[in-house]
Chain A
Amino acid sequence: MSALRQAWRFLGRMGVASSLLFLLLLVALLAALIPQLPPSIARDPARLAAWLTAAQERWGPVMVILHRWGLLTVYRFPFLAGLLSVLALSTLSCTLSRWRAAWRRALRRAAPPVEFPLSLSPLPADRLRSALRERGYRVRTASGEGTTHLEADRYPLSELATLATHLAVLLLVAACGLSGWLGWQAEVTVRAGEAVPVGGGADLWVRNDSFAIVHSPDGSVADYRAEVALLGGEQEVARGRVRVNHPLRFRGMAVYLWGFQDWEGGMSVTLKVVRDPGAGLALAGGLLLLLGVTASAYLPHRRICARLEPERTLLAVRSSGRDDAAAAELEALVRELGEC
């Protein structure tokens, strides 16, 4: 039990998280520099064989070795899955061990500083209070035995930004898992006026009603448009125009225009049909990540504490994380108070 607890604590250390991020960075560089097999091809043995033959012609026999080692499908690499799982555990451990302290700081219940690095000549409490309020701080004061204690906080809720970022990482890892396990995609080529099953276990057919290429006045291609219908049995369940960047969406599924070919009777279109149950979770995770990162970078929690004694004023600033502008703000405050 003790070993498990130690392992859990070890995972929560920021040094471990940094090492995991470094490994993930190496995997990302590897995946960027080695051609990756599209998932739809990796799942189809016939297309995989054709892709590998073409890849060998292009890059040589090294592709066979890379394929054998799993480096052409890094996204299915057991090492990557393991790395993401350990990163998720590390994030969870870090979050669980720190959320209480972060919450206390966010609610401004953290203990006042014991050291005040800045000592100035005596200042009136009202002047300091109004200067801090003008800078957006919420100020609390307490007096006793000739000394006034002043605590001023700005953006205290950004103490929760790291928790939001960590939660976002967990959501993104979960979204990757959900997309990989439950998502599917298929490419179908449909001639004008014909219908084909969309595949992926969905009891749906897709029909190509028409396809057109729209040109601008200067002759360049302005748009590609396909009119398609989705059929459930004999019934039409959805219909719409599919363009580049504008898929047809229907009950968690989307139909994308993926290509077109000349055909004797007109044009046939290649459509990509996708169901991705992880997309919504990925979007939520991405937004939460953005919120956390932005709050950490732009709205750091700063606390300025002062002890106003009859013969001197002591000042200290504390900030969430490494806030490079905190000292500068304290300097500016001191300048404003005429102490420079």
Chain B
Amino acid sequence: MLTAVYVFLWASLLFYGLHLLAGRRWGAWGGAAGAAAAWLILTGELAVRGVAAGRWPLANRYEFGLCFLWALLGVYLLLEFATSERRWGGFGIAAALVVATMTLARPVEERAISPLTPALRSFWLPIHGLTAAIGYGACTLAGALALMELVRPGGERGAGWPPPERIEQGMGRAASLGFPWLTLSILTGGIWAEAAWGRYWGWDPKETWSLAVWLAYLLFFHLRAARGWRSCRLAGMLVAATALLLFGFAGFPALVRMVRLESLHGF
């Protein structure tokens, strides 16, 4: 199923690319149709997986990756619908492809539906996992739009691109949408940690990395409101925050294993 999603995402990227770079109007509709098809297939895949497993599909990093991708595409489609802006579709879908690739790169055994370990049998698993997925999705989309702001060509070559203020608005809206979900995921994680391990905060590497990601996005909002940071500097800050977020999802667990850090978190 993820292969079909992958194909639709590539097709969507191609169409959105034609819309942005060659000014083809039909490219925007093709891109949106591809993204919507990928989102619908993912929704079906997650529902089937959840029913077959008898639990929320959030038991390992492959399943979390599917939810992350689902949330990212959902937030992107919502933003496109709310703003009627399709020129940033290529960057949104490129971010989705990065997450899809990270998810596809997970070991094959994670794709098999397995029962939950006792540690994950908790009321808080779906709440903590889903809120994190939505927060990750929206904040990654914000980072993708920030990257668009950074690479936007100047002068006549950037004539077909959305103006910098428009992109800044888009990244601000996506980050504003995602930040409360990131906050909620840390809060629910703390409540779950208190019920499971006897402390709401334990300086576990995964927890501390999540705090670093949250602080990076908080800093983005602070710099934007307080210091009047705009365009490239602000976008650079957001790209750095998103790099931390994506590394926390894909790279950090590998680093924890590689340097043998001690973590109570499975992923």
| Interface size range of chain B in the complex | 35 or more
Contacts of B124 in A (CB 8 A): 245
B223 contacts chain A at the CB level, 8 A cutoff? yes
Instruction: Tell which of A21, A179, A286 touches B215, judged by Cβ atoms closer than 8 Å.
Output: A21
A243 contacts chain B at the CB level, 8 A cutoff? yes
> A245, B212: Cβ atoms under 8 Å?
no
The residue on B at minimum CB distance from A246 is B195
Instruction: Tell which of A17, A29, A272 touches B222, judged by Cβ atoms closer than 8 Å.
Output: A17
Tell which of B17-25, B26-34, B100-108, B170-178 binds the partner: B170-178
A290 contacts chain B at the CB level, 8 A cutoff? yes
Once A32-B205, A289-B187 are accepted as A-B contacts, the answer to whether A223 and B226 lie under 8 Å apart by CB is no
Query: How many residues belonging to A are interface residues under a CB distance threshold of 8 Å?
Result: 59
B261 contacts chain A at the CB level, 8 A cutoff? yes
Distance, CA A255 to CA B121, complexed state (A): 18
Instruction: Tell which of A22, A31, A256, A286 touches B190, judged by Cβ atoms closer than 8 Å.
Output: A286
Contacts of A13 in B (CB 8 A): 226
Interface string of A272-295 (1 = CB under 8 A from B): 101010010011001101100110
The residue on A at minimum CB distance from B262 is A35
Instruction: Tell which of A21, A179, A276, A325 touches B173, judged by Cβ atoms closer than 8 Å.
Output: A325
Q: Which of A51-75 contact B (CB under 8 A)?
A: 58-59, 74-75
> A15, B194: Cβ atoms under 8 Å?
no
Once A18-B222, A223-B118, A256-B197 are accepted as A-B contacts, the answer to whether A58 and B260 lie under 8 Å apart by CB is yes
> B115, A218: Cβ atoms under 8 Å?
yes
> A216, B224: Cβ atoms under 8 Å?
no
Q: How far is the CB of B120 from chain A (nearest CB, A)?
A: 9
Main secondary structure of the interface of B (DSSP, over half): helix
Contacts of A31 in B (CB 8 A): 203, 208
Q: How far is the CB of B262 from chain A (nearest CB, A)?
A: 6
Q: How far is the CB of B62 from chain A (nearest CB, A)?
A: 18
The residue on B at minimum CB distance from A73 is B203
Instruction: Tell which of B173, B201, B216 touches A324, judged by Cβ atoms closer than 8 Å.
Output: B173
Contacts of B219 in A (CB 8 A): 18, 21-22, 25
Contacts of A114 in B (CB 8 A): none
> A32, B184: Cβ atoms under 8 Å?
no
Q: Which of B202-245 contact A (CB under 8 A)?
A: 202-206, 208-209, 211-212, 215-216, 218-219, 221-227
A24 contacts chain B at the CB level, 8 A cutoff? yes
A244 contacts chain B at the CB level, 8 A cutoff? yes
> B223, A289: Cβ atoms under 8 Å?
no
Contacts of A246 in B (CB 8 A): 195
Q: How far is the CB of A162 from chain B (nearest CB, A)?
A: 9
The 5 closest A-B pairs by CB, nearest first: A14-B226, A274-B198, A32-B208, A28-B212, A324-B172
**Given A245-B192, A324-B170, 7 other A-B residues pairs in contact with their CB atoms under 8 A:** A15-B227, A17-B226, A176-B201, A245-B122, A256-B197, A290-B183, A324-B172
